[in-house]
Structure 1
Amino acid sequence: MERSEDLTPEQEQALLKARKRVIETIGNNMELYGITQSTGHLYGLLFFQNKPMTLDEMGRAMEMSKTSMSTGVRTLVDLKMVNKVWEKGSRKDLYEVELDWFQTFADFFSLKWRKAAEMNLHALRRTKSELQELAERYAGDEAFQHQLQADLSKIDEAIRYYIWLNRLIETFESGEIFKLVPKDMG
């Protein structure tokens, strides 16, 4: 963690204890989102820095290998939770946390939901097409038609849901969600 020469040892210890509590909580909560605890701790470490860090600095601070730091940072960059930044005179990659947690949340869920929605819509539409072909092939079988229609109805409802979810995702991606649910209630 970043040290300050302006603090007494007692002040520094108190601040470090408070920061560690937040970092530990962030790490635990990140597991809920499918991110490893150590990557969550890395995010917490970067959150409390007042300047960008290199992989080497992160590794020393967390007592982990550069490879582990690289994997964690890559995950956080892919999720738009950490940004790679350029600093004049530095030849190493530097990283800083995205401080806008509202946007981080929107980006994270947009990425995750979009991927899931696209996969599910593809599977549902393919299955619907196959079931429609079966309906044509077995047009005279009333019992089979009844079951096909029940399945097609369920699939249509699922497709309707994923189309709605895509519209919800668009509100996150465009920032419209913050008009519907303002960041500040002032």
Structure 2
Amino acid sequence: MNQWDQLTDEQAEIIQKARERVIESVGNNMDLYGITVSTGRLYGMMFFQDKPMTLDEMGQQMKMSKTTMSTGVRTLLDLKMVKRVWGKGSRKDLYEVEQDWYQNFADFFVIKWRHSLEMNIQVLKKSIRDLQKLAEQEPDNKELADIIRHDIDKMEGAIQYYLWLDRLIDTLESGEIYNLVPKELPSTEAAK
């Protein structure tokens, strides 16, 4: 017997509305991080499932095409927010959400920040090399040297920031961040 069968229509409706509010909120919040609202809603819907789902099941529940579900799941897989799981007797791929929201947060930001960081450091280093070459071509031009030194100083400062961010990313990846900011609130704060 299904748990839902034991609920009154009113109880089921209240639960469904509460879930829908959370799903809508998750969808809107994910949009802030560059993930489409529909992919965010897909994640929210999957969060409430008690079993892994196929793309067909997701499409039926979300009233969207299998192609849209596939694109959304691929995005969530890349961000490590969803994982592919094995299901006995199932020939179709099954997916379920990573229930650990702390890990979701860490994985999401590690992936996004690491990509941005690497790209920005590469651009800064190339720009510094180009400016150094220009300075070497005209070693007697004091005005040019001043402008270049000023720009290089700013770029080196930016590199220092990105190296700090890299260390922050390392704390997320290793879980050290939770030594600084524990997952659990101290009982005095939780009681507020």
Asked if these proteins are the same fold (TM beyond 0.5), I'd say yes
Trace 1:97-112 onto structure 2 (pairs within 5 A).
97-112=97-112
Say if 2:16 is the partner of 1:20: no
Distance in 1 between residues matched to 2:181 and 2:13, nearest whole Å:
38
Residue in structure 1 matched with residue 82 of structure 2 by the alignment: 82
Residue in structure 2 matched with residue 183 of structure 1 by the alignment: 183
Distance in 1 between residues matched to 2:19 and 2:141, nearest whole Å:
68
**Amino-acid identity (%):** 59
Say if 2:153 is the partner of 1:153: yes
2:95 partner SS: strand
CA deviation map 1:25-68 (0-9, x unaligned): 11111100100000011001000001111100000001000000
Mark the runs of 5 or more structure 1 residues left unpaired by the alignment: none
Distance in 1 between residues matched to 2:5 and 2:52, nearest whole Å:
19
Deviation at 1:130, TM superposition (A): 1.1
TM-score by length of 1: 0.97
Q: Which amino acid is 2:160 matched to?
A: R
Residue in structure 1 matched with residue 52 of structure 2 by the alignment: 52
Q: How many residues align?
A: 185
Trace 1:68-147 onto structure 2 (pairs within 5 A).
68-147=68-147
Residue in structure 1 matched with residue 189 of structure 2 by the alignment: none
Aligned CA RMSD, in angstroms, stands at 1.1
1:56 partner SS: helix
Residue in structure 2 matched with residue 9 of structure 1 by the alignment: 9
Q: 1:43 to 1:10 in 2, by over 3 A?
A: same
Q: Which amino acid is 1:46 matched to?
A: M
Trace 1:161-180 onto structure 2 (pairs within 5 A).
161-180=161-180
Mark the runs of 5 or more structure 2 residues left unpaired by the alignment: 187-192
Deviation at 1:7, TM superposition (A): 1.3
CA deviation map 1:82-141 (0-9, x unaligned): 111001111111111111001100000000000000000000001111111111111100
Distance in 1 between residues matched to 2:104 and 2:32, nearest whole Å:
15
Distance in 2 between residues matched to 1:184 and 1:42, nearest whole Å:
27
2:129 partner SS: helix
